A and B are shown apart, each in its own frame.
Chain A
Amino acid sequence: MPSPRSSDESVIEISKVSTRFGDHVVHSELDLDVRRGEIFALIGGSGSGKSTLLREMILLQRPDSGSIRVLGVDLDKIADGDVDRDALALRQRWGVMFQHGGLFGSLTVHENIGLPLREHTELDDALIDEIAAWKLAMTGLAPEVGAQYPSELSGGMMKRASLARALALDPELLFLDEPTAGLDPESAGEVDRLVRKLRDRFGLTIVMITHDLDLLWQLADRVAVLGDGTVQGTGSMSELAQSDKPTIRKFFEGPRGRAAHAQDEQNGTASWKAK
């Protein structure tokens, strides 16, 4: 297995970001850094602003103050609007897998995957079809799935198809919103392997929101815990497990947290250390 190409270069730099919805403060002076080539996870309780932060990183929402730089571009400098050139150029450099897939219901899976290529490149249709079929196969879906419509897919297939579409334009950066939520353990394990493969083979930087403790222990290089509007702690899971901050501790205490940790100690430490 090639070693992770983690480097010190920052892909996402968030500094002093504050967001409010009316009187409700979501983020207050939040700082965060994501490095190139790492698998970065955002965790936090419900309402801790994980999804809002993700939406701010992918230009779907603006913070009230503070700056966010993604792939070296200051998002503040980019004009609002869906047709802005800079925004379009930047959006083609990242891929997003939405929690519920976000696949277009009126298109087949194959057409969904080919859509970004058709829209943004001048490749001919035959080549686009080949590339789309290959991306579909890469995410582990059978070729027949390509002809189906999103409403005919199971949850796991939907996530993979969505991932295949996010990968269509070869992004440098991949955002995953709850990649394993609602999946059976086997499908979750496959998503896990797929994400690792993407990082190892193609050097993608991956930012994900997840509650899946197994995924966190086995996949994430670094994890940021969000709470009370700021980052409570950042580090690998084993580092965070040592923390005594109560907001961080509550993720590791409780039967589920302990079980995932124990399981990881038993059979996961070898691979963990190998990294």
Chain B
Amino acid sequence: MATSVTTERAAPRVDRPEPAGRMSWRRVPGLAALMLGALLFLFPFYYMVVGALQREPNSDISGAFPNPANLTFANFADINAQVDLVRTLINSGIFTGGVLLATFFIGLLAGYALAQLDFRGRSVVFNTMLLILVLPFQLFMIPLYVLIVRTYGLADSYLGMILPFAVNATAVFIFRQFFLQLPRDLFDYARIDGASELMILRRIAIPLARPAIITAMIVTFIGPWNEFLWPFLITKQHDLQPLAVALANYISTVAARATNPFGSILAGAVVLAVPAVVVFVIFQRQFIESNLGSGVKG
């Protein structure tokens, strides 16, 4: 689409095309569409929060715009009375933290190797990883449970909870795809200079892959954080159970008890969702340019 405009702009200009935050008329429709979309996306979450705050359940349309008199924290208090929020949050943290550590150390190495290192059998490993991703967990569940509980004897333990999730295959896949985006030249220069592979990984690859790592970590976080069935299988002891399990148990009994059963369920869901959102808000700031261009400048 280069037109005669070129001649007009031939002389390089100092100022950047779209300075930060400047609102030009061109942007308004796009921004409006974005805002509309955002509201649409937020609406169910908003409804969830509103529902959680209601004393009396109101499942009509008017429920979306509640009567302020009907708002209360009672549902949250209900949950807090039944579920030890602090303890379960800590358990969730340990479970998720363990998975994040394992994925970072083991998965990152593997992803890098699958993308940038050329060794025989590379595609076998990649395809096995893909196979694990493809197969639904329900297929593995019982033999995996038998393996972990009987062969490894890890019932009622954090390790038993962590192990099947330890290295998130999606994360490995993400690492691989991102490392594929990096040109091999980058690493070869370093190799010529005599750098060891490990040093290359640490000094060059990882800093460049920072957005990918953040992404993979955010993604890896969600799985164990929301996981109910596996930790519940592994242990019935309350002081080891993560929040998702405690909430699911609460939901299954709540109908008989709470003033607003559906509200209590929603309150539980809000409690579970908030830390995940907070983690995201903190880490999404990392999505700033890594300025790859300067990496290969001559």
A binds B: no
